[in-house]
Amino acid sequence: MFFKLRKNKIIDNRGGALIFALVFGTISFSLVVMGVSGYALYQNKLAMSKHNREMAFQIADAGVAYYRWHIFANENDYQDGTATSGPYIHDYFDKNKNNIGKFSLDLTAPRTGSTVSTIKSTGWLNIQSGAKRTIKARVGKPSLTDYSFLTNSSIWIGPGETVHGKMHSNDAVRFDGETDSIVSSPLLGYYCPPAQPLCHGSPWKGGVWGAGEPSVFFIYPVGFKDFDLINNKLDEIRTNAIDFGIYLDNSPNRGWHIVFSTTTSGEEIVMQATIYSVSTCEGDGCSSNPNSSNSCKNFKCRNCYNTDHKKPGATACCLDINNETLYLTTTTPEIAYIYSEKTVWVEGITKGSIIVGSNKDIVIKDDLVYAERIEENILGLTAKENILIPYKSGPDLEIHASMIAQTGAIQRYDYYEGASPYKTLGTIRVNGSIISYKIWTFTWVDNKMTIVNGFVNTETTFNVHSLFNPPPSSPVGANHVLIEWQEIK
């Protein structure tokens, strides 16, 4: 028997599958490569855009730096060396002197009486001019009187006194009060007067010492402060008052009394000055006869000591007005210069930027405050001799002013024969500066540190607006410094 053997045939499809895998693998790989390449290109484009924006920012900042340099060399030029209005466009070059971009400047000059100007700088690259960055900066010259207290003489801050802001004496400082800023002296140490409490037996003290807190703010020795830089503006105030302000001459009277207030002119609120000619003060022409109704003994203000431990004289001690006549009522411009050849009394509510100068003393008769505590309202008082508080002051007194006593002191005399309610008073608050060539004080104590005359409490706060917006004719530094810097776009 014959069998037919059939050979089974095996069909191999592996080659076709390989081709299929290669084709679709290539497609997939291409898609992946294209995706990765696209992503890489996108990231590169994004990185370039970010780089260009960063460069635009750097160019804008360079524009600010350029104009700070420009106004240092050309102080009053806010038209970029031209006679036209802005914006002012400048080319920007890289380190290889290639012109790669531009910055555009919009400049705002200081308002009258201020040193603060605004620089708005916009920068961009030539290759991406649509990617712009803008920086706004405010620059100004700082006042040289940026202290709550500044004196050329020794100073003693008592336990009831609080100082907000910097304090400096060109002599020794005894600080028993409270502060939130630097208290400084150029002295390494000094011998404390034995008659002063806590000085007997151990008279050698540091340049700044006392029971005040926090003592970490006591810094000494530091450099002297040059009062010649501060005290050179009175002639300028006088000239400007004569030319376009209020000039009060050397008429045969005791002096002048100015009451500040606000009034309406059209739809605008403006400042008004009501000025009186002061004929006599209390005690003037009193009788030495103790039985007279006008006996000098009835006027407790006639006997006093100043901070030089001297009696300035009966007529100098009595500062309370007895008789006066109306001289002038007038509104004042936004920037006002007032100068008196004689003693001037001041009180009331002030508005705008004002400087009051006196060839003699300035007496703060009553509260002297701003209509509103804003940058535009600032008052300066500059006396050739003293700035004084009279005997018949209110129980509390508020003063908003930067005060300078060029050759004398800012003080309330020691009315040692005074009587209630004028002998010891409540609180005096100063918002501004006390700059006194000689020893200043509003408070007198005995050798047991008990207050016997003047104000029980003193609070002084530096007016931050006056740092770059001081009163007219105030001494300022030579260089513009950066006040504010921000990106606005």
Percentage of residues of the chain with pLDDT beyond 90: 57
Measured CA to CA, the distance from residue 7 to residue 256 in angstroms comes to: 138
pLDDT at 341 over 80: yes
Quick one: average pLDDT of 88-116? 90
pLDDT averaged over the chain? 88
Say how far residue 451 (Cα) sits from the centre of its chain: 32
* Band of residue 1 on the pLDDT scale cut at 50, 70, 90: very low
For the chain, give the number of residues.
489
Per residue in 391-401, pLDDT tens? 999 999 999 99
Quick one: average pLDDT of 299-324? 90
Q: Which helix (H) or strand (E) holds 426?
A: strand 424-436
Do 184 and 217 touch, CB atoms closer than 8 A? no
pLDDT at 231 over 90: no
Q: How distant, in Å, are the alpha carbons of 33, 166, 191, 448 from that of 445?
A: 90, 24, 20, 8
Which CATH topology does 48-142+481-487 take?
A: Pantoate--beta-alanine Ligase; Chain: A,domain 2 (3.30.1300)
Quick one: average pLDDT of 450-479? 88
The model's pTM is 0.81
pLDDT for position 8: 54
* Band of residue 478 on the pLDDT scale cut at 50, 70, 90: confident
Token pair 């409540």 is at which residue? 426
What lies within 8 Å, CB to CB, of 484 at 6+ separation is: 136, 137, 138
pLDDT for position 467: 85
Quick one: average pLDDT of 329-341? 93
pLDDT for position 159: 86
Do 143 and 435 touch, CB atoms closer than 8 A? no
pLDDT at 182 over 60: yes
Q: Which helix (H) or strand (E) holds 46?
A: helix 14-73
Quick one: average pLDDT of 310-332? 91
pLDDT for position 267: 83
pLDDT for position 45: 65
Token pair 């050849």 is at which residue? 341
Quick one: average pLDDT of 181-194? 91
Cα torsion through 439, 388, 270, 111, rounded to 10? -20
pLDDT at 9 over 90: no
Per residue in 123-181, pLDDT tens? 999 998 888 999 999 998 888 778 899 999 999 898 888 999 999 999 999 999 999 99
pLDDT for position 110: 87
Quick one: average pLDDT of 356-373? 96
**Structure-block tokens of residue 121:** 């700088």
pLDDT for position 297: 87
Per residue in 14-60, pLDDT tens? 566 667 666 666 776 666 666 666 655 655 666 677 888 899 999 99
Measured CA to CA, the distance from residue 252 to residue 55 in angstroms comes to: 70
Percentage of residues of the chain with pLDDT beyond 70: 90
Quick one: average pLDDT of 365-388? 95
What lies within 8 Å, CB to CB, of 389 at 6+ separation is: 363, 364, 397, 411, 412, 428, 442
Which has more confidence, 102 or 130? 102
Measured CA to CA, the distance from residue 256 to residue 49 in angstroms comes to: 68
Quick one: average pLDDT of 310-322? 89
For residue 185, count other CB atoms closer than 10 A to its CB.
27
Do 280 and 252 touch, CB atoms closer than 8 A? no
pLDDT for position 459: 93
What lies within 8 Å, CB to CB, of 444 at 6+ separation is: 414, 451, 452, 453, 454
* Band of residue 76 on the pLDDT scale cut at 50, 70, 90: confident
User: What are the residue boundaries of the structural domains of the chain, listed by start?
Assistant: 48-142+481-487, 145-226, 231-283+296-473
